[in-house]
A and B are shown apart, each in its own frame.
Chain A
Amino acid sequence: MTAETPLKILVIDENPIRRAILEAGLRDAGFSNVTLLGDTNGLLERIYAVDPDVIIIDLQNPSRDVLEQMFQVSRIVRRPIAMFVDQSDRETIEKAIDAGVSAYIVDGLKRERVRAILDMTISRFGAFERLRAELEETKSALKERKVIERAKGILMKSRGLDEAAAYGLLRRTAMSKGKRIGDVAESLVSAIDLLES
């Protein structure tokens, strides 16, 4: 691919973190001509200025419909086609949709040249999604721990228990009701908040 001109890639993604992750991935893979767009103001002019070979857009971006119309009616942009055009490549398409991304590719590009970009994009979108899920998990675990601490404190104070006994009581209650400790703690804390408010 060294003999060929580097592909011009345009990334349209409202999420700045994912945008950065994707750009880094593409650069690491040797694609140096990457342009990032965070918003879609003046989209047509910007596409015209960049003249991309490949456009990558996240599926949560409502401007996908806008893009599709530009390719249809505009006389000033080259007409990229959705990656969905080739039905033989179902697997990639499904992976891309699962990862939350869509790509448009200028007609006539050899698909081997585009493949690496698509694979990279899909894997980076996947990585971002995992990162986000982990963050959510950490956040809710942290929140749950705080709630359990409060519930323990309430029990220690109102029933004169030590910390281990308070935790044991929460645990037994959870088991006997078939609930999670976090949920029992949550109910106790909200009940107390109600009574004291």
Chain B
Amino acid sequence: MMTHSRPGAPDAPQSLRVGFIPLADAAALIVAVDKGFTHAHGLDVELVREISWSNVRDRLNIGQFDAAHLLAPVAVASSLGLGHVRVPIVAPFNLGLNGNAITVTSALYRALAAEADGDITDPGVSAAALFRVVAQRKARGQDPLTFGMTFPYSTHNYQLRFWMASAGVDPDEDIRLVVLPPPYMVESIANGHVDAFCVGAPWNSVAVDLGIAHILHFVSEILERAAEKVLAVRKDWATRHPDALARLLHAHAAAAAFVEDVENRDEVCRLLSAPNRLGVAPEVIRRTLDGRLKVAPSGQLRASARYLLVGREGAARPDPVQAAWLYAQMVRWGQAPMSMELLSAAQAVFRPDLYDAVLGAPHGRAAGEPADGIGAFAGPPFDPSDLEGHLAPWRIKRTR
């Protein structure tokens, strides 16, 4: 007889399995577990390293994972039933904002630099240069450029598309956009399968270190704030295990603060570099967390205070505006139909209410952050109540 279980109160599962992909933006999750924050909050978490986003999604959906490090757009797509079975997912905690970069072969970098009318680190300038390079290649009868990204429902996909389409490059007609698993990105750019890619850390730095590629943009130059990875749980799991969820959020908040404290950086990089975590040198991870990256084989550095936001500037609190922006991109690129129902379902995936209930509500937007919560380099400010207005100015789109 289970005399200790109280009727009506579901037992909190103290043992959790959480899936992740080896990327720097899993930092808060990995540190939460490996530094002992989850243990301190009464949880026994087994981290499971996965090889594909499809696996993470499926194992979360089917219940083999209690929670997962997940691409923010996959959480939205899964909840809307896009491209796959519909399983409602909620995101009570953001694992990271931004953190991706667009990396191009040295040859493409030279071609873009030759066509750049102004500062090539300005995404408007680089996109216009890309437009001209694409036109020249077409005129010469060359194959279209191939860009790699990580998943159809990924921020990488939308960031690349938003950037290039702003200057009239059609990502479906003028470019070949292909999915590549992150660990294969570097190999693919080295053997000429792709001319460029958009991926998270550490793969951009690895390609630059090999002397074969340049980092063209940090994605924070395209959008100041983009929800990249979330801590995802099934909606029914969140409902049934509020206690375990609260413990998980406490542990993640502590871990995110630990990761953001520069004093702890050596330790954090060491934890993340373990073979069963990211499995790359601590120094490479450190560049990402410091936001100070070598962008060219010559050793040239570029620094940004916005490269990857793990907990600072309110990054960890899920913002439904981000979910609306992601849904708007799904509509723009023909992955989803436009409907108010789907828009509100998408926004409901990001759960600041769950975050606030456990960790407390913030006092307004962090100073210096974009007023619309997105901060895109082109187009009018984003207004989630006016998606038509968001899509109207863009000539290139695949709306259904």
Asked if residues B183 and A84 are in contact (CB atoms below 8 Å), the reply is no
Asked if residues B59 and A62 are in contact (CB atoms below 8 Å), the reply is no
Whether B61 sits at the interface, judged by CB under 8 Å, is: yes
Task: Name A90's contact: one of B62, B181, B183 (CB within 8 Å).
Answer: B62
- Per the bound structure, the CA–CA distance linking A90 and B62 in Å amounts to 8
Task: Name A60's contact: one of B51, B61, B85, B184 (CB within 8 Å).
Answer: B51
Whether B180 sits at the interface, judged by CB under 8 Å, is: yes
- Per the bound structure, the CA–CA distance linking A155 and B54 in Å amounts to 55
Q: Which residues of A contact B85 (CB under 8 A)?
A: 82, 84-87
Task: Name B152's contact: one of A72, A87, A102 (CB within 8 Å).
Answer: A72
Asked if residues B58 and A85 are in contact (CB atoms below 8 Å), the reply is no
Whether A69 sits at the interface, judged by CB under 8 Å, is: yes
Whether B178 sits at the interface, judged by CB under 8 Å, is: yes
Task: Name B178's contact: one of A59, A69, A102 (CB within 8 Å).
Answer: A69
Q: Which residues of A contact B62 (CB under 8 A)?
A: 84, 90, 93-94, 97
Asked if residues A102 and B51 are in contact (CB atoms below 8 Å), the reply is no
Asked if residues B64 and A65 are in contact (CB atoms below 8 Å), the reply is no
- Per the bound structure, the CA–CA distance linking A63 and B150 in Å amounts to 11
Asked if residues B152 and A62 are in contact (CB atoms below 8 Å), the reply is no
Chain A at the B interface: SS class: helix
Q: Which residues of B contact A72 (CB under 8 A)?
A: 83, 152, 335
- Per the bound structure, the CA–CA distance linking A87 and B54 in Å amounts to 16
Q: Which residues of A contact B150 (CB under 8 A)?
A: 65
Q: Mark B35-66, 1 if CB is under 8 A from A, else 0.
A: 00000000000000001111100110110100
Asked if residues A69 and B151 are in contact (CB atoms below 8 Å), the reply is yes
Q: A23 to chain B: closest CB distance in Å?
A: 23
Whether A73 sits at the interface, judged by CB under 8 Å, is: yes
Q: Which residues of B contact A94 (CB under 8 A)?
A: 62, 64
Asked if residues B84 and A73 are in contact (CB atoms below 8 Å), the reply is no
Indicate whether A68 sits within 8 Å of B59 (C-beta atoms), given known contacts A62-B52, A73-B152, A97-B64: no
B side interface size, CB within 8 A: 25
Q: B70 to chain A: closest CB distance in Å?
A: 13
Task: Name A84's contact: one of B58, B172, B184 (CB within 8 Å).
Answer: B58
Q: A95 to chain B: closest CB distance in Å?
A: 11
Q: Which residues of B contact A65 (CB under 8 A)?
A: 52-54, 150-151, 179, 181
- Taking CB atoms and an 8 Å cut-off, the chain A residues in 93-135 that contact chain B are 93-94, 97, 102
Q: Which residues of A contact B172 (CB under 8 A)?
A: 73
Q: Which residues of B contact A67 (CB under 8 A)?
A: 54
- Per the bound structure, the CA–CA distance linking A87 and B236 in Å amounts to 15
Task: Name B84's contact: one of A61, A64, A84, A93 (CB within 8 Å).
Answer: A84
Q: Which residues of A contact B55 (CB under 8 A)?
A: 59, 64
Q: Which residues of A contact B52 (CB under 8 A)?
A: 59, 61-65
Q: Which residues of B contact A102 (CB under 8 A)?
A: 54, 58
- Taking CB atoms and an 8 Å cut-off, the chain A residues in 148-166 that contact chain B are none
Q: B141 to chain A: closest CB distance in Å?
A: 21
Q: Which residues of B contact A68 (CB under 8 A)?
A: 54, 83, 151-152, 179
Whether A192 sits at the interface, judged by CB under 8 Å, is: no
Asked if residues A97 and B179 are in contact (CB atoms below 8 Å), the reply is no
Indicate whether A63 sits within 8 Å of B181 (C-beta atoms), given known contacts A68-B54, A84-B61, A94-B62: yes
Task: Supply 27 A–B pairs (Cβ within 8 Å), ascending by A.
Answer: A59-B51, A59-B52, A59-B55, A61-B51, A62-B51, A63-B52, A64-B52, A64-B55, A65-B52, A65-B181, A66-B181, A67-B54, A68-B83, A68-B179, A69-B178, A69-B179, A72-B152, A73-B152, A73-B177, A82-B58, A82-B84, A84-B61, A90-B62, A93-B62, A97-B58, A102-B54, A102-B58
* Given A61-B52, A62-B52, A84-B62, 13 other A-B residues pairs in contact with their CB atoms under 8 A: A59-B52, A59-B55, A62-B181, A64-B54, A65-B53, A65-B179, A65-B181, A66-B181, A68-B152, A72-B83, A72-B335, A85-B84, A97-B59
